[in-house]
Amino acid sequence: MSKESTLIAALRALAPHPAARGLQDDCAVLDFGGETLVLTHDMMVEGVHWLAGQDMADVAWKLVATNLSDLAAKGADPIGVLLGFTLGDDDTRFLTGLNEALTAFNVPLLGGDTVSANGPRTLGLTALGRATSRSVPDRRGASPGDTLWLTGPVGAAMLGFEALRDRTSADSTAFRRPTPRLPEGRALAPLVTAMMDVSDGLLIDATRMAQASNVTFAITSASVPFPPSLPPERQDDAMRWGDDYELLFTLPSGIEPPISAHCIGTANAPTASPVIVDGAVLHGSLGYTHD
Amino acid sequence: MSKESTLIAALRALAPHPAARGLQDDCAVLDFGGETLVLTHDMMVEGVHWLAGQDMADVAWKLVATNLSDLAAKGADPIGVLLGFTLGDDDTRFLTGLNEALTAFNVPLLGGDTVSANGPRTLGLTALGRATSRSVPDRRGASPGDTLWLTGPVGAAMLGFEALRDRTSADSTAFRRPTPRLPEGRALAPLVTAMMDVSDGLLIDATRMAQASNVTFAITSASVPFPPSLPPERQDDAMRWGDDYELLFTLPSGIEPPISAHCIGTANAPTASPVIVDGAVLHGSLGYTHD
């Protein structure tokens, strides 16, 4: 999940952090005890990050999955999570989903805190991981000539969200129960020049990577993977919708990824437009931005 | 800050955590690389943990201080913090106080997340530390014959809270800007048989330590340190009020602490009452329990 915020930027300026490297990303990367620790903290708010009335088991799953997705983008093995939880009426469902996610991804709950509050509930999760590659990927390393890749389709979460919102019979799994690309991230980490998870939308996240790397990405829309159920006229929407948690990465020219992935474009010398699709500059909202 | 909650207990039962030791406490303690990592996560809610309208600079300070107090009780050196922040109208004051606390305790901000929400704001902080002692203290190790100690007075935060609530001219610093006992914790960690911070009140926290250690503490009220401004008739209140963040610890008989501290009692063989004061069992509410 992305957290480009004015506040965090202001905090960074206020509080230097010599111990950390990789702070331009969603994760903190720290040398500790001869190894490299990767840390992330993401929040979810009722009515913002989940629909009021949504099954809290799915919310718990997503809270875990989105944080682990940040670790996946670093090629890190999860070590454990700390939970900040606002108590509610359906905590049993939350517990069920939390346990399902922790079991599915083999991650222990290390601790946390619970509070009571009136109003929309806020949840927070801190995830810790151990870097598996000496060079921990970030979004800054893409160079002109690199190829741009995506581990899987974008748009499935959008369709899932719409199914849930409109109470249709379409499959909402991709929105409710995303899968962090942990094995893929570990396999890719030693090879990529840049990597991040697509949490807010392909176009906005590609823009962020392009800006951080000082390149322009030329994306070919016909190469972008979409779910089979996506109507062709929704492909542009799908590139602007988030929540799919696939990995977006770049490789030096000629290097093939060791896992199944889709080459969707190339990195070129920077222009005024960080991302162009089918040769055209982008217009309109690029994707979803959380506060 | 304490977080004895049914939810966390249920989560522990659901999700075993073979990587963690010390989970009976407020911190997770993990071997990582060749060192020991100590982690804690505490939340604060507007209207519950701080007064609506309170200066957000003080709230930021307290959020940092209470988490670092958990590290102090482990004898850990803080490495950094991750912030979960709900945006509000007075974020500049929050930033100011956060920077003051991070500077005062020499702790970097490593990252975090920000969200917008309607209703009372929820804040979360994850603090990381490096254990400085091979044996990381917890609350389970007190034995009959040990002496019971407190690093400083209890009751100052109560008086500070009342000054703030009643808008009197009395000093509210102890409530607004507590100091985590980091140097004291580091000095004590190799020596103590049990240690914790007094976040919820001396009597309730002593009860928790006694129960975890299977002893009964006999406390002599005349030995308990109180602030000079405390009226004698408020001493019982002061032992039941939290937020002072002094360290409560036990030492083997005959061992003197290497820092200034007050011997307030002894550990005896367990009885039906985990804590007795001046020979009498306790009645009434023992202290403040956060949800």
**Mean pLDDT for the stretch of residues A28-42:** 92
**Mean pLDDT for the stretch of residues A100-119:** 89
Mention every residue, 6+ apart, whose C-beta is less than 8 A from residue B32. Answer: A32, A33, A35, A37, A79, A130
Q: What is the 3-state secondary structure (H, E, C) of B108-132?
A: CEEEEEEECCCCCCEEEEEEEEEEC
Nearest CA in chain B to A10: B95
Nearest to A7 among B80, B91, B126 (CB): B91
Nearest CA in chain A to B290: A115
pLDDT at residue A5 is higher than 70: no
Q: How far is A1 from chain B (nearest CA, A)?
A: 9
Average pLDDT, chain B: 89
**B30 neighbourhood in chain A, CB within 8 Å:** 79-80, 110, 128
Question: How far apart are the C-alpha atoms of A141 and A148, rounded to whole Å?
Answer: 12
Report domain extents, chain A: 6-131, 147-281
DSSP state of B46: B
Considering only CA atoms, which of A219, A214, A225 is closest in space to residue A266? A219
**A128 neighbourhood in chain B, CB within 8 Å:** 30, 39
Mention every residue, 6+ apart, whose C-beta is less than 8 A from residue A137. Answer: A73, A74, A75, A188, A189, A192, A194, A195, A249
pLDDT at residue A88 is higher than 90: no
Side-chain half-sphere exposure of B43, counting CA atoms within 13 A: 32
B197 part of contact set with chain A, CB < 8 Å: no
**A110 neighbourhood in chain B, CB within 8 Å:** 17, 19-20, 23, 28, 30, 39
A6-131: which CATH topology? 60s Ribosomal Protein L30; Chain: A; (3.30.1330)
How many cross-chain Cβ pairs, A to B, lie less than 8 Å apart?
254
A267 part of contact set with chain B, CB < 8 Å: no
- pLDDT band, residue A25 (cuts 50/70/90): low
Buried b (16+ CB within 10 A) or exposed e, B257-266: beeebeebbb
pLDDT at residue B69 is higher than 90: yes
For the stretch A224-264, pLDDT in tens is 999 999 999 999 999 999 999 999 999 999 999 999 999 99
Least confident of B82-86, B231-235, B249-253: B82-86
**B22 neighbourhood in chain A, CB within 8 Å:** none
Average pLDDT, chain A: 89
Question: How far apart are the C-alpha atoms of A212 and A217, rounded to whole Å?
Answer: 12
For the stretch B247-263, pLDDT in tens is 999 999 999 999 999 99
Nearest to A16 among B23, B32, B108 (CB): B108
- pLDDT band, residue B11 (cuts 50/70/90): low
Nearest CA in chain B to A122: B122
Q: Which CATH number fits domain A147-281: 3.30.2130.10, 3.90.1300.10, 3.40.50.300, 3.90.650.10?
A: 3.90.650.10
pLDDT attached to residue B184 = 98
pLDDT at residue A10 is higher than 80: no
* Residues 16-55 (B) with a CB less than 8 A from some CB of A: 16-20, 23, 26-28, 30, 32-37, 39-49
ipTM comes to 0.85
Tell which of B115, B130, B289, B290 to mutate to test the A interface (max A CBs under 10 Å): B115
- Is A147-281 the same fold as A6-131? no
Mention every residue, 6+ apart, whose C-beta is less than 8 A from residue B161. Answer: B172, B175, B241, B243
pTM over 0.80: yes
**Mean pLDDT for the stretch of residues B86-105:** 90
pLDDT at residue A154 is higher than 50: yes
Query: Regarding predicted confidence, which is higher, A174 or B117?
Result: A174
Q: Does A84 contact B110 at a Cβ distance shorter than 8 Å?
A: no
Q: How far is A30 from chain B (nearest CA, A)?
A: 9
